[in-house]
Structure 1
């Protein structure tokens, strides 16, 4: 029975040490940092440029679309690599399921390409 709980005690000890490390780090930062609020420090920080003008700015949506497409295909690889490592033991049904999954992703990519989302102009 002691061997059974030994694994849990190690995980619990590592979790407690991690929480203590974070708490001590935050406490040390709060005690050691200088607190001198000035008018310049209270300004909104925008990439090193002082905020001037209107508060409305146009954002290019295409950057978000590329980031979203990257996330989709990163998740695809997360599903694909583990499946490929155990493919031989799973059988032909999983091969059909994976081709359906990849086909749906290909249809989504084709739709994005047809809508002109992938052009950079």
Structure 2
């Protein structure tokens, strides 16, 4: 038989976390609603972008190349985040760490070559 009483501290912790997070989210909204003035006007409800009204509909689609460049940026940013700690401790980790990092860098290089050949980095 499984003793479920061991999970009681976890459930208490989860309940307290949910209560506190809900309090931190909804209490400021409630206090601002009760203490502040709520007079929405059409000017207050309009979109605000860089100090001037939007040029076109906010639901317009972005070019897919924008997302490809953004994904490539994130991938290579993460590569830098992995390379710095590895470079600091490479001499204490041994050959296994060096070989695994070279495989990781080779996979990223292949991905970059593939994206380059497909034209993901070209902008018109």
Q: Report the TM-score when normalising by structure 2.
A: 0.63
Is 1:113 the equivalent of 2:105? no
Is 1:84 the equivalent of 2:87? yes
Is 1:93 the equivalent of 2:96? yes
Q: List aligned pairs for 1:37-52, cutoff 5 A.
A: 37-43=40-46, 45=47, 47=49, 48-49=52-53
Q: CA deviation at 1:73?
A: 0.6
Alignment partners' CA distance in 2, 1:40 and 1:91: 63
Aligned length: 101
Considering fraction of residues, name the structure with more helix. 2
Alignment partners' CA distance in 2, 1:46 and 1:39: 12
Give a deviation string over 1:85-119, Cα, whole Å, max 9, x none. 01110111111110000000000000000001111
Give the 3 Å change call, closer, same or farther, for CA 35–62 of structure 1 in structure 2. Answer: same
Give the 3 Å change call, closer, same or farther, for CA 32–67 of structure 1 in structure 2. Answer: farther
Structural RMSD (CA): 3.3
* Uncovered stretches (5+) of structure 1, i.e. residues with no partner: 1-18
Match of 2:68 in 1: 65
* Uncovered stretches (5+) of structure 2, i.e. residues with no partner: 1-19
Q: Report the TM-score when normalising by structure 1.
A: 0.65
Give the 3 Å change call, closer, same or farther, for CA 32–70 of structure 1 in structure 2. Answer: farther
Q: Which has the higher contact order (CA 8 A, sep 6+)?
A: 2
